[in-house]
Amino acid sequence: MDADRPEMTVEYLQSWEAHGATWRPLVISDTLAVVELCTCYGEAVDRVQSAEPAVIAFVRSHPPP
């Protein structure tokens, strides 16, 4: 993972939303979640990923925007 990129956690995704932005899952498997971070207008700005089971479960349970 890039040292300048924050680790994707449930709290990170919740904070992203709390600031008015959105995110959408690109890949959800039993071992990996890849998420596209978007502006409040839906414009993609970054991609982050996690292999943590709690993050994968959160992404899987999160309704699409």
pLDDT of residue 63: 73
1 — pLDDT class (breaks 50, 70, 90): very low
DSSP string, 12-41: HHHHHHHTT-EEEEEEE-SS-EEEEEE-TT
**Per-residue pLDDT tens digits for 23-55:** 999 999 999 999 999 999 999 999 999 999 999
pLDDT of residue 65: 60
pLDDT of residue 62: 87
pLDDT surpassing 90 at residue 3: no
